[in-house]
Amino acid sequence: MGVLHNRLAELNSYMPPLTAKKDFDSFWENNLLHFKNKPLHAMKTRQDSVMWNTEVYHVTYEGFDHTPIHGWYMVPTFVKQARIPCIVIYHGYSAQRGIPEDYAKWIMLGFAVLTVDTRGQTGESGNRLAQQSGIIKGWVTQGILDKDQAYYKAMTFDCLKALDWLAEQPEIDLERICVYGSSQGGGIVLQMAALSPLPSLAIANIPNMCNMEFGLYNSTGSLSEISAFVNTYPDTLDQVLDTLSYFDNMNLASRIKAPVHFSVGLKDTICCPETIFAAYNRVSSEKTIHVYPFMGHEDGSNLHKSKIMNLLSQFAR
């Protein structure tokens, strides 16, 4: 076997020990129950758009706390079905939802689209999360010493409440909801598939937030902010690892029931292959991983994008 075959064989059998604590399941069950009936206080406002046969709305709702989370919701009016499929799109670290016209390709496939800005990052959503200590650079070290105050927890429930809002829209087929994202967005996709019953398809391109202890030591992406925090405060390492374990998709993967498609670049230094395979190998539902040996941190070549578009075209029928 050559170098690439050996590398793939190692990754396909890579099963690091889970880091979930004894209260992992109860933590999630209690929190999901607690937030289940939290009011959304949502607003939906019609917007002008150059896209024909498409209704565009600005959406605002409350997620984890009282922070308004903002997004676009787009409905194709040319689809002649009583209820239509929807793709929910989550974004990479420091990215934002952009303009409605960015989503024309999904609309042309016959999907409604919901896409939301992640709290505090570069979009419209703010961040009212209480802060007990200083942070390093971006956002992910906020509340990192306490799983109940952690930025990751707030972000996760913001995204779950987006699905709750979607479930209230009468034109949506609740049996055809796809969650889609790349990098941070791909990590959120895995969380949504693990924690919500609504997704019936998950597409997680180069997902982050997997095997986070490995990423903490090796990643050059957002997890390097947490590494810098621990470097500044070395005595917090155990607390930090404890917090991360609750949001690690490696630990959540066994809860996924929907079909899930991963992608991975073997030269990715942000979402390292070991982190992605650690989660992928723990998924027991129908799954596929698209491996690109010479790709770095990219959401895929035109070939990969074509594969995903074909997959979604079938899903929308």
Is the distance from CB of 99 to CB of 58 less than 8 angstroms? no
Residue from 125, 182, 183, 224 carrying the catalytic annotation: 183
Residue from 117, 268, 290, 299 carrying the catalytic annotation: 268
Is 297 in the active site? yes
152 annotated among ligand-binding-site residues: no
Is 91 in the active site? no
Distance in angstroms (rounded) separating the CA atoms of residues 208 and 194? 15
Kindly report the backbone phi and psi dihedral angles of residue 123, in degrees, each rounded to the nearest multiple of 5, phi listed first: -90, -150
Distance in angstroms (rounded) separating the CA atoms of residues 271 and 292? 13
SS3 state of residue 104: helix
- DSSP letters, 14-83, are --PPP---TTHHHHHHHHHHHHHT-----EEEEE--S-TTEEEEEEEEE-SSSPEEEEEEEEETT--SSS
Is 245 in the active site? no
Q: Name residues whose C-beta falls within 8 Å of residue 135's C-beta, 6 or more positions apart in sequence.
A: 141, 142, 144, 229
Residue from 219, 227, 297, 299 carrying the catalytic annotation: 297
Q: Where in the sequence numbering do the catalytic residues fall?
A: 183, 268, 297
State the binding site for substrate: 93
